[in-house]
Structure 1
Amino acid sequence: MPLTRLAFLLTLTFGTGACGGPEASDSDSEGAPETSECGPTVGKVAKVIDGDTIVLESGEKIRYLLVDTPEITNGKRECFGVEARDFNAEYVLGQDIELTYDVECADAYGRLLAYVDVPDGEINSLLIARGYACVLDIPPNGEERAGEFMAMQRAAQDQKAGLWGMCGDVCGP
C-alpha cells in the first residue's frame, strides 16, 4: 500500500487525537505545539537513541508502537542494531514529525508510545517493511494494525530484507 494511502487510512482510523481522547488542537498561544491527552502531536527530532526510540527537541522520549529493533544501548550490540539506528536517523533526525497515539500513552519507562510520520512516510511501517525491526505487539495498543504489521514482517522475512538476511530469525517464536 503506498505510504500516502497508508497515512490517509491512519488518519481515518486514528484521527489526530490520542488515547481515545479529543482531537488534537492548537493552543491559544501563538507558536505553542499541538498536543493531545498523551502529549505533542507534532515535534522536531533532536536525538535518535536507537532504531525504535527518539527524543524530541521539547524533551519527550518517543518509543515507536508495534516496532522492536535490535538493542544497541546499555552495552548490548545485537545483530543489525546499528543499521536499524542509522536507518531511523536517516529518516527522522532533525525532521518535523507528526505523532499519533493509541490506547495507552506511555510505557513503564515513561516514553510516549506513538506512530511517527515523517515526510517520507510512517517510520514504524518503514522499519518493519525494510527488515530493520520485528513486530512488537503489546495490546491494547496496536490491536487495529497488528495484522498489517505482521504481513509486512512476513514479506520482509520472505525477501530476506535487512536483518532477515543477516541475522536469521531474531524475533523469537
Structure 2
Amino acid sequence: MIEEKTNDLELVIVIKVIDGDTIVVSDGRRVRLVGVNTPEASYYKKEPYGIQAKNYTTYKLLGKSVWLQRDVSDVDIYNRSLRIVWLEKPVKSMDIVEIREKMFNAQLVLEGLAEAKAYIPDVTYNRFLIRFMGEAKETRRGMWGSKIIEMYSFSLDK
C-alpha cells in the first residue's frame, strides 16, 4: 500500500469510486473532491451526466496512485476527507497550466462533467475552477453541450 506524505500532499491509491466527486483511497478514507460538484449517479438518484462523471472518474483514477492536498477543512459533515486530487505531484500548485494538466478536480470541470462550486472556506482554487467552467460552457463540453435535453427525453409509446 503506497502512502507517503510530502509537505501538504499525500500519496495514496484510489481503490473505489463512489460517484464523480467521491472516491475511497487505500487507507480506507472516503474522499470528497473540493471545489467541484458532479451530477448524482447513485442507486437512489440519477441526474443527467452523473453516470458519465462517475465513469470518467473511474477511468482516470481507479487503481491509480494520486496525490491528495488538503485545502482548509479536513472533513465534511459526512466525515469524508475534503481534498484536491492531483494526478501528478505539482511543482507550482498555483500555476494555471499545472492545475489544468495535473489537477483531477479541474479536469472534471474542463470536461463539462462537474460544475465549479465554492464550499467556504475551501476556496483556494475556486477562481481557476470558475474560469475552467466558463471554458467548458463556451466550448459546450459535457453537461454544457447542446444535447443535454436528450438526457431528459423519453417516449411514452409502448
After TM superposition, is the score higher than 0.5?
yes
Q: Distance in 2 between matches of 1:49 and 1:114?
A: 15
Residue in 2 aligned with 1:11?
Answer: none
Q: Give the structure with the higher percent strand.
A: 2
Unaligned runs of 5+ in 2: 89-100, 150-158
Is 1:162 aligned to residue 132 of structure 2?
no
Is 1:63 aligned to residue 44 of structure 2?
no
Deviation at 1:35, TM superposition (A): 4.4
Residue in 2 aligned with 1:103?
Answer: 72
Q: 2:125 aligns with which of 124, 138, 145?
A: 145
TM-score by length of 2: 0.79
Unaligned runs of 5+ in 1: 1-30, 169-173
Is 1:136 aligned to residue 117 of structure 2?
yes
Residue in 2 aligned with 1:122?
Answer: 103
Moved over 6 A (4+): none
2:3 maps to a residue whose letter is: P
TM-score by length of 1: 0.72
Q: Distance in 2 between matches of 1:58 and 1:114?
A: 14
Q: 2:3 aligns with which of 33, 41, 49?
A: 33
Is 1:89 aligned to residue 89 of structure 2?
no
Q: Distance in 2 between matches of 1:70 and 1:115?
A: 18
Counterparts of 1:10-29 in structure 2, within 5 Å, are: none
- Indicate the SS of the match to 2:16: strand
1:123 maps to a residue whose letter is: F
Q: Distance in 1 between matches of 2:148 and 2:119?
A: 24
Deviation at 1:116, TM superposition (A): 0.5
1:34 maps to a residue whose letter is: E
* Aligned length, in residue pairs: 136
Q: Distance in 2 between matches of 1:32 and 1:121?
A: 19
Percent same amino acid among aligned pairs?
30
1:134 maps to a residue whose letter is: E
